[in-house]
Amino acid sequence: MRGTEAITSFYQHATAALKGAELLGDIRVAGDEVAFPFEITADLGAGIMKVQVIDLFHFNTDEKVDSMRAFWDQNNMKM
């Protein structure tokens, strides 16, 4: 996914169902990148879904996020 509009739309829809998030392990920092595992809980109306994710952020020289990657697949989703 690329572009401000696409990312904004994705997060607007995703956060509407969000009920919580929990850090699952240590935060790892290496230079200008940070990675961390966490689990989100969402209420989909038909049930509660939990998704375990690892996020990787890269920071630019102004210390602002210039990229974010989320690693997960269907094996990380539980209903």
CATH of the domain at 70: 3.10.450.50
Instruction: Look at residue 61 and tell me if it is in a domain.
Output: yes
Instruction: Look at residue 12 and tell me if it is in a domain.
Output: no
Kindly give the confidence (pLDDT) of every residue in the chain, 79 residues in length, as a single tens digit, with 9 standing for 90 and above.
Answer: 778 888 888 778 778 889 999 999 999 999 999 999 999 999 988 999 999 999 999 999 999 999 999 999 999 999 9
Q: What is the pLDDT of residue 39?
A: 98
Tally of structural domains, the chain: 1
Domain coverage including residue 32: 18-78
Instruction: Look at residue 9 and tell me if it is in a domain.
Output: no
Q: What is the pLDDT of residue 9?
A: 85
Q: What is the pLDDT of residue 13?
A: 78
**What is the residue-wise DSSP string for 6-63?**
HHHHHHHHHHHSEEEEEE-S--EEETTEEEEEEEEEEE-SS-EEEEEEEEEEEE-TTS
Q: What is the pLDDT of residue 44?
A: 87
Integer Cα distance of 77 and 66 in angstroms: 27
